[in-house]
Structure 1
Amino acid sequence: MTDYDVIVVGGGTSGMMAAISAAEHGAKVAVVEKNKTLGRKLLVTGGGRCNVTNNRDKEEIIAHIPGNGRFLYSAFHQYDNYDIMAFFRSNGVALKEEDHGRMFPITDKARTVLEALIEIMERLAITVYTDAPVDTLLFEDNKVAGLRLQDERELSAKSIVLSTGGRAMPRTGSTGDGYKWAKKAGHSLKPLYPTEVPVLSDEAFIQDKTLQGLSLRDVALSVLNKKGKKVITHQMDMIFTHFGISGPAVLRCSMFVHQTMQRDKTDFVTFSLDALPELSKGAVTQQLQGLMKNEGEKSTKNALKGLVPERYLLFALERLGVDENAPLKQMTPDQLEKFIEFLKDFRFTANGTLPIEKAFVTGGGINTKEVNPKTMESKFTSGLYFSGEILDYNGYTGGYNITGAFITGRIAGMHAAAQALENHE
């Protein structure tokens, strides 16, 4: 039986950081990974460029982790996004800032980040087992004892960090293995749901692909509850697809689709789309009245072009029964009113999202009330720590989930090492 102070199960973003942190704090560390290589999901993050963190203050980062981000407060006070940047820079990875505070390696390659992490692990003499699926974790008297691999080998440890990820993107190895071991240690799971995922709609205009492939820039997209109140609004780009809607604004709304359907006990939610969020309804009305006065002789299609993309405009006119080739001045006051309504508040229903396997991020996971937020240790089993997406918190894309992964990994590794070394005495 091979003996370690700390074993990290899962060699992804959070797991590698946990291992480095534990080794820097003096522990003898091993990483056990079922894939043939480390960091498979890391390589596909940020479109393969790896958005390592975000250059915003703590409060704003936590606000961008709408799924239970408050759990991360204590961890952030020990290690934060600026520490992540310093960590990479001091290890030879130069970073640059892009829109919305997103930080990338200047090489624009996720591999740069992965290679740096692997190099640090080699320097710290961390043992890495790849192609090594775990059969089960071993506990004795509510304490961690080690683990057994599927090939029957046993490794003993004083502390174990579970960094096995969620169930999103299973092709990278995230198949939810860690949940069953957490349950074995007495933990409960918050129901899993996909987040940062495209949304499905069976509206007729989606089914007949009227708008398929149409992108709308900088629109305000809102999820409404059954009382018609806005649950969340995101102003970003979106795209209509053959199955529904996608794009940044949609991905950010996706977790609220699930939550609202659950809360309202319905099998659909209503979206409201404002194509001109920078203009008030009054300003749009004035603009259209001006056009009717000055361009009233032109065809409706030509007089209104430039307001919104042409396909979207023609879609609106057809819905309202307006002849696109008739002069604009023939539009009735009722049609004008409905057209303004369409521009500012086009409503359509969505009935869920693509499945968790197609999502970027897993919502739900290990109940954080059962985990010490200062150390990431299990409240039930001594020496068992958690980090990353296995925990019930989730953020928007833009460097927020990976920030959570690095920070929880750093904290879990540090405290796992401290506890293991205490037990050396």
Structure 2
Amino acid sequence: MNSTAKRIAVIGGGVAGLLASLTAAHEGAKVLLFEKMPKVGLKMGITGKGRCNLTNSAPIMDFIAKTPGNGKFLYSAYEKFDNEDLLSLLHSWGLATKVERGGRVFPQSDDAQEVRHLFMDRLKKEKVELHLEEPVRHIIAADGRAAGVVTDKGRCDVDAVILTTGGASYPRTGSTGDGYAMARELGHKVNTIRPALIPLVCSEVYCRELQGLTLKNVTLSVEAGGRRKAEEFGEMSFTPFGISGPIVLSLSDKVSLWISQGRGVKGTIDLKPALTREVLDRRVLRDLEKYHLKQMAGALTDLMPHRMIDTILELAGIPGDLPVSELKKGQRLALVEAMKNMPLTIVGTRPISEAIVTAGGVSVKEVNPSTMESKIIRHLYLAGEVLDIHAYTGGYNLQAAFSTGHLAALSAVKELESE
């Protein structure tokens, strides 16, 4: 390494920090990576349920659309380094990947630890100076520019700083919101953080009674005040505290926002979204004729999971021991309505520590989208989840972190070389 190489401190060894470190080092900078945990890439090692959903195969415009939290801010980052660029890089390092349902890209091995170890090996190859278990407390600014960092071990002078400390979710991986305090200390605005991609808490007792039950091909609708509405089709499950699963996580960003605004949120589950009420009623009639000698609790096994029958009958006001032959038309219509409009009272989200990503963070209005450099402090760059950026599940959040980390590093090196 050239002894005259510019020194860049990267704060945080997550997805954005790892690629920022490798990019800057590859471009000739002397990189010092500070990570407060004993290992780097801990959150990377648990993403995608331990399989690491690296990115998505969708066109980049879809990435923008799938990023409700300031997606348009990412145009420049994606132009410089998109999903194809990421996969080309990973493949050149020897990682085999595969594409699954919804365009999700995973390592062929289904092992997130393989990805983490690959990055660790690259850090050694690029001679990144790794400072583990050394949390950064402050970023030093002098004459309007980042000039160093202060850790528990003292001061370290550098030519530029890249802040990639992540959000406030999964604190056991090191994401505890430290970067917000550092950015705020330098004059940056930090927009209120809240959980996104998070299970929802409901007040209905039947959620607890049905815990562990997964529903497929259903529609979950949510609304606040009867004016703000959203819905998703797919898979969800009941938990001891409420609901979770893919469509719940997709809707949770809106729900989290509405709840933070003090709005009451209601939800409904349509167990048979492919059928109109009239068609479903005819289907119910056929089943009741088929099981006309049974009680109602035993006549609905073809229509829904066995564990749901008592709940649906209770919602419809129908005794489970009522003989099918005694069911009145009004009761049958109430049964149809219960299946098409199963109510949920959403009272909150799980704690932010359980969120897959954090909504809120350092305001992107104070960061140059073309370089990721702070508009307030020169030679300070920000990337990844510390910024007020968040996307839906499917690999979009990791790609945003990779792309912004890459752009921040390239910009830092280029700016320093031009001086």
Per the normalisation by structure 2, the TM-score is 0.94
Corresponding residue for 2:73? 71
Do structure 1's residue 257 and structure 2's residue 255 form an aligned pair?
A: yes
**Cα distance change on mapping 1:280 and 1:78 into 2, 3 Å:** farther
Do structure 1's residue 302 and structure 2's residue 304 form an aligned pair?
A: no
**Equivalent-residue separation in structure 1 for 2:5 and 2:91 (angstroms):** 33
C-alpha deviation, 1:45, in angstroms: 0.9
Taking the TM superposition and a 5 Å limit, the aligned residue runs for 1:182-201 are 182-201=183-202
The answer (yes or no) to whether the contact 1:4–1:155 under 8 Å persists in 2 is no
The answer (yes or no) to whether the contact 2:5–2:28 under 8 Å persists in 1 is no
The answer (yes or no) to whether the contact 1:197–1:354 under 8 Å persists in 2 is yes
Structure 1, unpaired ranges of 5+: none
Corresponding residue for 1:174? 175
**Equivalent-residue separation in structure 2 for 1:334 and 1:59 (angstroms):** 49
Corresponding residue for 1:321? 317
Partner of 2:258: helix, strand, or coil? Answer: helix
C-alpha deviation, 1:189, in angstroms: 0.9
Do structure 1's residue 288 and structure 2's residue 284 form an aligned pair?
A: yes
C-alpha deviation, 1:359, in angstroms: 1.5
The answer (yes or no) to whether the contact 1:27–1:421 under 8 Å persists in 2 is no
Corresponding residue for 2:145? 143
Partner of 2:253: helix, strand, or coil? Answer: helix
The answer (yes or no) to whether the contact 1:3–1:156 under 8 Å persists in 2 is no
1:242 partner amino acid: P
Partner of 2:64: helix, strand, or coil? Answer: helix
Corresponding residue for 1:403? 399
Taking the TM superposition and a 5 Å limit, the aligned residue runs for 1:145-160 are 145-152=147-154, 154-160=155-161
Kindly provide the CA deviation profile for residues 286-334 of structure 1, in whole angstroms up to 9, marking residues without a partner as x.
Answer: 3223334555444333332121111212211123232334343432222
**Equivalent-residue separation in structure 1 for 2:406 and 2:273 (angstroms):** 41
Partner of 1:83: helix, strand, or coil? Answer: helix
Partner of 2:361: helix, strand, or coil? Answer: strand
Kindly provide the CA deviation profile for residues 396-424 of structure 1, in whole angstroms up to 9, marking residues without a partner as x.
Answer: 2221111111111111111111112222x
The answer (yes or no) to whether the contact 2:55–2:398 under 8 Å persists in 1 is yes
Percent identity over the alignment? 37
The answer (yes or no) to whether the contact 1:134–1:149 under 8 Å persists in 2 is yes
Kindly provide the CA deviation profile for residues 212-243 of structure 1, in whole angstroms up to 9, marking residues without a partner as x.
Answer: 2222122211211212x462212222221111
**Equivalent-residue separation in structure 1 for 2:299 and 2:228 (angstroms):** 33
Partner residue of 1:340 out of 336, 343, 355: 336
**Cα distance change on mapping 1:69 and 1:402 into 2, 3 Å:** same
Taking the TM superposition and a 5 Å limit, the aligned residue runs for 1:214-225 are 214-225=213-224
Corresponding residue for 2:53? 51
Taking the TM superposition and a 5 Å limit, the aligned residue runs for 1:9-158 are 9-152=11-154, 154-158=155-159
The answer (yes or no) to whether the contact 1:4–1:30 under 8 Å persists in 2 is no
The answer (yes or no) to whether the contact 1:54–1:102 under 8 Å persists in 2 is yes
**Cα distance change on mapping 1:272 and 1:230 into 2, 3 Å:** farther
Do structure 1's residue 248 and structure 2's residue 246 form an aligned pair?
A: yes
**Equivalent-residue separation in structure 2 for 1:121 and 1:327 (angstroms):** 70
Partner of 1:273: helix, strand, or coil? Answer: strand
Which contiguous aligned blocks of 4+ residues in structure 1 show a shift greater than 6 angstroms?
Answer: none
- Which range moves more in the overlay, 123-132 or 328-337? 328-337
- Which range moves more in the overlay, 319-328 or 69-78? 319-328
**Equivalent-residue separation in structure 1 for 2:331 and 2:75 (angstroms):** 51
**Equivalent-residue separation in structure 1 for 2:290 and 2:215 (angstroms):** 27
C-alpha deviation, 1:101, in angstroms: 1.2
The answer (yes or no) to whether the contact 2:140–2:146 under 8 Å persists in 1 is yes
The answer (yes or no) to whether the contact 1:222–1:230 under 8 Å persists in 2 is no
1:340 partner amino acid: V
The answer (yes or no) to whether the contact 2:195–2:358 under 8 Å persists in 1 is yes
Partner of 1:218: helix, strand, or coil? Answer: strand
**Equivalent-residue separation in structure 1 for 2:410 and 2:332 (angstroms):** 63
C-alpha RMSD of the superposition: 1.8
Structure 2, unpaired ranges of 5+: none
The answer (yes or no) to whether the contact 1:222–1:234 under 8 Å persists in 2 is yes
Corresponding residue for 2:415? 419
Kindly provide the CA deviation profile for residues 339-397 of structure 1, in whole angstroms up to 9, marking residues without a partner as x.
Answer: 11111121221111111112121111011111111111111111111111101111122
Corresponding residue for 1:203? 204
The answer (yes or no) to whether the contact 1:4–1:156 under 8 Å persists in 2 is no
Corresponding residue for 1:365? 361
1:100 partner amino acid: G
**Equivalent-residue separation in structure 1 for 2:23 and 2:229 (angstroms):** 39
